[in-house]
């Protein structure tokens, strides 16, 4: 998407971006390196959602065209009904045949996705088409950013219901002591892009602990410290 | 419970007879003493606990369709990436999308109802008076339109059978699409809704399942034609074509396995696909040491993986709504 838009002539590109909002929806489990790439390298709008595909799809509605994916491989690219009309309107600004073709390819690309729900077959078709368009190997795709190492563990607590997270589930609003313990733990590992959060499981009577860092060793260490603290105190 | 005038019209003699028939069938199904809940992706439990849940999901889907003026509603019987002994249900609602939390609550309420007739009447009254209903004059003569599909699990045919019985009692207009992926059922629900909205209710014809595969094939074909004939010529290329048009697909011994020939067909000349874990008839093999969930959670390569000649591997989950590259 981004690649195609940047192929448009500057004037059309500017108009495209002011008429049509593009956004990427991630969750607390989205890899930090991915979020960084979207936000800082590509400069795209990033919106965080609660875990669960229906929440991501809801968050995506804030944009005309949104890409939403969970780290488990569930997601799609969604657009709203105004998009076809908006692209048509932009065609008056076409400056070259390349503009016309790029704009047409953009609407073809967008309409290839299953709009109802995340669909791994349309995703496969579109990823393969994108690789072809970008002239990239899978290996190059893999290395456009270096994924952070992560660990996902669980711990049993007396009452999971006292643990309340922010809307995007990346921080606890209650109990605050736990959040500040996590913050202090993270501070002990500077310069390794460390991140950690806990959230109650939706279905089981447990807490889930997620930790992420440049090395697996650090991620595991953080998760273990937090787990130990939780099982001793809650 | 006091009935409103509109809802009362619905509870006439013929409706009471339907209720009796529903009660009779429902009471013969195994009763499980637990509170069922609707998670992120619908209801998901052990295959032996789901008979009554299936029946009641059938009822609510009919009511949902009727409340929406006969709009087609989809029911997918699947437990996605779970082990082969589980099963479950996902519902495709308005726009073919997943149902809203409000509707999840309605489904959960009936699934867990102690007294089926009483709760069902209650729900209908609530719906008629809510803003989801298309009309305040609930027309019980509207035929519900329901679409069914299922995965390759051993318990799927039985659960589809129970839902079918339910739809027959309620005199619904329905189509069983057989084994389809979850996204395909959602997509077909949307197509049926579009057909429904453009035609009169009487002449409604169900959309053929091939329409989904045509959508995939045409999407890729349109892209390729445009890309190769027009775009490729204009693009300034100083580097060789690096696209790797050959890869392996881990079908997780599920629905992707059932449809793997169709997947290969979509790509045609574009890419050469080698599929494996395609043994969907081996019931215990589903998602076992393979599939998207296994690769993602366990961070392991799927069983039967063959790397040598191919650089790309794609893993699907049991009902083909998730994809992981390896």
Cα angle B50, B54, B55 (rounded to 5 degrees) comes to: 125
Sequence-ordered list of residues with C-beta below 8 angstroms from that of B185, at least 6 positions apart, any chain? B74, B76, B90, B92, B147, B149, B177
Q: Phi and psi (nearest 5°) for A123?
A: -60, -45
B219 → closest Cβ in A112, A131, A137: A112
Measured between CA atoms, the residue of chain B closest to residue A122 is: B216
Give all strands (DSSP E) within A31-156, no chain letters. 45-49, 65-69, 75-79, 149-155
Q: Please give the interface size between A and B, counted as residue pairs whose CB atoms are below 8 Å apart.
A: 146
pLDDT digits (tens, 9 = 90+) for B92-151: 999 999 999 999 999 999 999 999 999 999 999 899 888 887 776 667 778 899 999 999
Mean pLDDT of B73-95: 95
B183 → closest Cβ in A105, A108, A114: A114
Evaluate if residue A8 carries a pLDDT over 80: no
B219 vs A133: CB contact, 8 Å cut-off?
Answer: no
The string of DSSP codes covering A9-53 is: -HHHHHHHHHHS-EEEEEETTS-HHHHHIIIIIS--EEEEE-SSH
| Sheet of strand A65-69: strand arrangement | A45-49, A22-27, A65-69, A75-79
ipTM of the complex: 0.90
Q: What is the band of B2 on the pLDDT scale with cuts at 50, 70, 90?
A: very low
Could you tell me which residue, B125 or B228, shows the higher pLDDT? Answer: B125
What is the widest separation between alpha-carbon atoms in chain A? 67
Which residues from chain B sit within 8 angstroms of residue A138, using beta carbons? Answer: 244, 311-312, 325
The pLDDT value given to residue B148: 98
Rounded CA separation B251/B257 (Å): 5
B41 vs A53: CB contact, 8 Å cut-off?
Answer: yes
Cα angle B265, B267, B271 (rounded to 5 degrees) comes to: 125
Strands B173-179 and A195-200: unpaired
Mean pLDDT of B214-222: 94
Do residues B41 and B104 touch, judged by C-beta distance below 8 A? no
CA distance A119 to chain B (A): 5
The pLDDT value given to residue B320: 84
The pLDDT value given to residue B309: 55
Q: Which residues make beta-bridge pairs with B90?
A: B76
Would you state the structure tokens that stand for residue A12, as one six-digit string?
A: 């059309």
Sequence-ordered list of residues with C-beta below 8 angstroms from that of B26, at least 6 positions apart, any chain? B52, B55, B56, B116
Report the first-to-last Cα separation within chain A, whole angstroms.
47
Q: What is the band of B14 on the pLDDT scale with cuts at 50, 70, 90?
A: confident
Percent pLDDT > 70 in chain A is: 99
Listed by number, the residues of chain A in 93-122 with a beta carbon closer than 8 Å to a beta carbon of chain B are 97-98, 101, 104-105, 108-109, 111-112, 114-122
pLDDT digits (tens, 9 = 90+) for A82-133: 888 888 888 888 888 888 888 888 888 888 999 899 899 999 999 898 888 8
Report the first-to-last Cα separation within chain B, whole angstroms.
57
Sequence-ordered list of residues with C-beta below 8 angstroms from that of B226, at least 6 positions apart, any chain? A101, A104, A105, A108
The pLDDT value given to residue B204: 87
Q: What is the band of B306 on the pLDDT scale with cuts at 50, 70, 90?
A: confident
Which residues from chain A sit within 8 angstroms of residue B42, using beta carbons? Answer: none
Which residues from chain A sit within 8 angstroms of residue B218, using beta carbons? Answer: none
| Sheet of strand B86-92: strand arrangement | B43-46, B86-92, B73-77, B145-150, B173-179
Evaluate if residue B6 carries a pLDDT over 60: no
Q: Which of the residue ranges B178-187, B248-257, B292-301 would you say has the lowest mean pLDDT?
A: B292-301
Measured between CA atoms, the residue of chain B closest to residue A108 is: B223
Mean pLDDT of B48-60: 97
Rounded CA separation A27/B306 (Å): 32
Would you state the structure tokens that stand for residue A227, as one six-digit string?
A: 């787990």
Q: Phi and psi (nearest 5°) for B87?
A: -155, 180
The pLDDT value given to residue A14: 85
- Residue B37: count other Cβ atoms within 10 Å of its Cβ: 14
- Residue A53: count other Cβ atoms within 10 Å of its Cβ: 23
Mean pLDDT of B315-325: 84
Closest CA to A111 of A80, A75, A69: A80
Which residues from chain B sit within 8 angstroms of residue A142, using beta carbons? Answer: 325
Evaluate if residue B234 carries a pLDDT over 70: no
Using left for φ > 0, alpha for ψ between -120 and 50, and beta otherwise, residue A189 falls in beta
Domains detected in chain A: 2-142 (3.40.120), 149-233 (3.30.310.50)
Evaluate if residue A17 carries a pLDDT over 70: yes
């Amino acid at each position: 998407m981004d690649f195609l838009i940047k192929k448009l002539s500057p004037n059309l590109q500017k108009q495209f971006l002011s008429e049509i909002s593009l956004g990427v929806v991630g969750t607390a489990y989205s890899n930090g390196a991915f979020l960084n790439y979207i936000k800082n390298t590509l400069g795209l709008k990033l919106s965080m959602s609660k875990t669960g595909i229906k929440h991501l799809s809801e968050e995506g509605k804030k944009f005309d065209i949104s890409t939403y994916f969970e780290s488990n491989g569930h997601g799609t690219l969604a657009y709203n009904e105004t998009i076809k009309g908006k692209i048509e309107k932009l065609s008056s600004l076409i400056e070259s045949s390349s503009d016309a073709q790029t704009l047409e390819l953009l609407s073809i690309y967008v309409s290839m996705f299953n709009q109802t729900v995340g669909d791994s077959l349309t995703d496969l078709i579109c990823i393969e088409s994108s690789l072809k368009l970008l002239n990239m190997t899978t290996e190059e795709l893999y290395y456009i950013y270096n994924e952070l190492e992560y660990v996902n563990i669980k711990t049993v607590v007396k009452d999971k219901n006292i643990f309340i997270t922010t809307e995007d589930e990346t921080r606890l609003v209650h109990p605050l002591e736990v959040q500040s313990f996590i913050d202090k733990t993270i501070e002990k590992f500077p310069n390794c892009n460390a991140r950690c959060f806990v959230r109650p499981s939706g279905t089981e009577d447990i807490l889930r602990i997620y930790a992420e860092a440049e090395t697996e060793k650090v991620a595991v260490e953080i998760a273990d410290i937090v787990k130990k603290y939780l099982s001793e105190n809650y | 419970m006091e009935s409103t005038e509109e809802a009362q019209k619905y509870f006439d003699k013929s409706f009471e007879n339907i209720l009796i028939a529903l009660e009779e069938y429902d009471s013969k199904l195994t009763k499980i003493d637990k509170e069922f809940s609707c998670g992120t992706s619908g209801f998901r439990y052990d295959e032996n606990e789901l008979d009554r849940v299936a029946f009641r999901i059938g009822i609510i889907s009919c009511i949902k369709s009727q409340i929406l003026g006969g709009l087609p509603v989809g029911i997918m019987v699947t437990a996605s990436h779970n082990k082969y002994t589980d099963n479950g249900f996902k519902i495709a609602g308005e726009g073919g999308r997943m149902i809203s939390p409000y509707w999840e609550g309605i489904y959960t309420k009936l699934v867990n109802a102690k007294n089926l007739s009483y709760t069902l009447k209650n729900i209908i009254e609530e719906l008629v008076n809510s803003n989801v209903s298309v009309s305040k004059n609930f027309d019980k003569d509207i035929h519900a339109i329901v679409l069914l599909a299922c995965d390759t699990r051993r318990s799927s045919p039985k659960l589809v059978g129970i839902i079918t019985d339910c739809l027959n009692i309620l005199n619904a207009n329905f189509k069983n699409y057989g084994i389809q992926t979850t996204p395909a059922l959602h997509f077909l629900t949307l197509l049926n809704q579009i057909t429904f909205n453009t035609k009169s209710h009487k002449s409604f014809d169900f959309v053929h399942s091939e329409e989904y595969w045509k959508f995939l094939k045409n999407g890729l074909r349109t892209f390729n034609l445009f890309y190769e004939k027009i775009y490729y010529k204009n693009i300034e290329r100083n580097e060789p074509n690096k696209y790797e048009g050959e890869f392996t697909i881990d079908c997780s011994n599920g629905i992707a396995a059932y449809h793997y020939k169709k997947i290969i067909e979509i790509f045609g000349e574009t890419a050469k696909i080698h599929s494996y874990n395609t043994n969907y008839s081996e019931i215990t093999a589903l998602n076992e040491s393979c599939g998207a969930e296994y690769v993602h959670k366990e961070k392991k390569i799927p069983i039967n993986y063959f790397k040598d000649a191919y650089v790309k591997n794609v893993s699907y989950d049991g009902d083909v709504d998730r994809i992981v590259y390896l």
